[in-house]
Amino acid sequence: MIKLLKPFNLKIIACCNYHDNSTEEAKKLGIDEFVTLEQAFSRAYVVSNHLADKENNKKIISKFLFNSMRQGATFINTGRGAQVNEDDMVDVFETRKDLTALLDVQYPEPPALGNPLYTLENIHMTSHIAGSANDEVRRLADFVIADFQRWSREEALLYSVEPASLAWRA
């Protein structure tokens, strides 16, 4: 994501609990500054959620954070729906018409019929399609097939996920 945003000359801030959050680490990653979650919501024009899917992140994005967003800010959730306190989001977005939410994920998926997410004009939902643009699905399938073939020949895998990395992956 950072590499995709760099050509637009944006100030990129990030909230992270698995890096050392030093200035050197930020520069290495292409981030201008590490901030707290509260600072990210109150300072950014666009907040994009990529928090890891961990128990302690459930409903972490709450009324306090949504209320602290800048005038005209946008919240994007391609992370996990369970990380958002949906009732809080609806309460804030009903009154803060200046905010926009773009939700690729919800909890549960899909939201129940009659859910206010369907009717609020400043909340827009997609059907969990992030990462599926253009030939993305075919490319991912090619990676899986290629690694399966390596595995069947008892060769080293190219795209394995180490268990230790699951603590910080979305």
Give 124-139 pLDDT, tens digit per residue.
Answer: 998 766 656 667 777 7
34 has a pLDDT exceeding 90? yes
CATH 3.30.750.210 for domain 36-130: no
Q: How far apart are CA 159 and CA 49, in angstroms?
A: 24
What is the tens place of the pLDDT at every residue in 102-119? Answer: 998 999 888 998 999 999
Domain boundaries, the chain: 36-130, 133-170
Token pair 């391609």 is found at 78
